[in-house]
Amino acid sequence: MTAPASYGNVRRMAESPGNERKKHRHDLGHEDHGPKLAAGTTRTIQGLLGLWIALTLGFVVYALVDSTRPHPPTSSVPVTK
């Protein structure tokens, strides 16, 4: 079964030769939604989350290094003088 030659070649009315299709705001480089303050807030939150992740990874590395370091033996007997 073959499709006719004109099958799937239907143009939208907005794409007619005399009427160019309007570009979406993302194509024009505009923000997604909301004012510029919201974009700044989003970047701030992303920065704080990145800092949180970096500090957490740093703490994990510190804990791993500290746990592999030899520690002096501890005695359960109290020291008296």
Segment 50-77, tens digit of pLDDT: 999 999 999 999 999 999 988 888 877 7
- The pLDDT, as a whole number, for residue 15 is 56
CA–CA–CA angle 63, 69, 70 (5° rounding): 140
Q: Are 40 and 34 in contact (CB under 8 A)?
A: no
Mean pLDDT of the chain, nearest integer: 76
- The pLDDT, as a whole number, for residue 36 is 65
- The pLDDT, as a whole number, for residue 26 is 61
Segment 13-45, tens digit of pLDDT: 555 666 666 766 566 665 556 666 677 788 889
- The pLDDT, as a whole number, for residue 77 is 75
Put simply, whether the predicted model's pTM sits higher than 0.85 gets the answer: no
